Amino acid sequence: MKKTDDQQNAYIDALVHIEASFNDLEWPSLFSNLIEPRKKDLLSARALYDSLTNEEIEKRFAIHRWEAKAVNIYESLMGCSLMPLGKSIDPRLWAKKETINIGLLLNKGENLLMTHRDLSDEYLEEIPGFYNKLLIGEWESFISIDEISRFQGAESKYLKDHNVDTEDNLMNIDFNILMASPKMESFINRLYFIAMEIQAIVWYREFLKEVMCNGITFYNDSHSEKEQKNQSKRKYINIKELQRTNNGYEAIKANFDAFIVKNDRMPSWAELMNYMASSPIHGFIVDAKYKGELVSELLIEGVEKPLDRDAFRNRYNRYFKKTDIKADIK
């Protein structure tokens, strides 16, 4: 639908504010040399957008959205590596082994990554071929504004038809309705998602290179820093400040795996909720609320709202393919 002049100005103003408030990427993306760098203040951002055509504006915003999704995957990979890195007797060698695994993934499509976060198996066979095209620069644009617009239109119509207000508390919305909403994969070409996975893996490799060179530490020791001021500084991860942006999947999956290792069996959803409340694995921050002796809510770092028992059970069934279908016994 064509925007009025006022709507277009409001839209551009919103994009300008998004541009100026976005954190810098930790490492350059595939598009870093193909579009102007992000502008970090409102005046320069507005000047840039005023110089672009509508098509160029849509393309720039679509690239930024693609980068943000790739960052989410990267943070999942990096975040899920922290527990084994923290437990390793030699994090540098762990990082070296994982870097070799990345090479197998990118060049042969073999997923032997040691991180808990699973990649999309359906893309594995296509990763090596497309990675090579991205590497040598022989790739066609996989970001289609028409495809994205069709998806957004279908999603908007679906939510409107089902009276879903996304500004409302998502906890109050029927889970089945949300799960049945249109999926991006049905509207957007596969290379869009494969390139996203590859970008995240390449960034993950850069993170591991830093660990290989400088090691890693999880706590800030100012005394040690002073002693080592003339030495190479180790990669420092502040667990309490780590930003997690993929809605808590990696925390739930990592704790699920840790429970299996500890108990030699899969947990029920209620057992997993109790496990995360009482002893979440190192690298994840989880706060719990109780009603009597029963865990009533979990607040997982990176998830905006607490997960009550129903919300946690829904996520469990979605993540682990209905391995636990028992009713909640209170």
Residue 205's CB is within 10 A of a number of other CB atoms, namely 19
| Nearest by Cα to 77 from 167, 224, 198 | 198
Contact 311, 318 (CB under 8 A): no
SS (H, E, C) 259-278: HHHHHCCCCCHHHHHHHHHH
| Nearest by Cα to 178 from 200, 162, 196, 197 | 162
| Nearest by Cα to 192 from 249, 245, 139 | 139
pTM for the model stands at: 0.68
Domain ranges of the chain: 5-144+189-240, 247-319
Query: What pLDDT does residue 127 have?
Result: 95
Burial 255-278 (b: 16+ CB within 10 A, else e): bbebbeeeeeeebbbbebbbbbbe
Contact 260, 268 (CB under 8 A): no
Question: Over its length of 330 residues, how does the chain's per-residue pLDDT go in tens digits?
Answer: 566 777 777 888 888 888 887 777 888 999 999 999 989 888 999 999 999 999 999 999 999 989 988 988 888 888 888 888 888 999 999 999 999 999 999 999 998 998 866 666 778 999 999 999 999 999 999 999 999 999 989 988 988 888 876 555 445 566 677 678 888 889 999 999 999 999 999 999 999 999 998 888 877 655 444 544 544 455 555 444 444 445 577 788 778 877 776 666 778 888 899 888 887 766 677 888 888 778 889 988 777 788 888 888 888 887 775 444 444 444
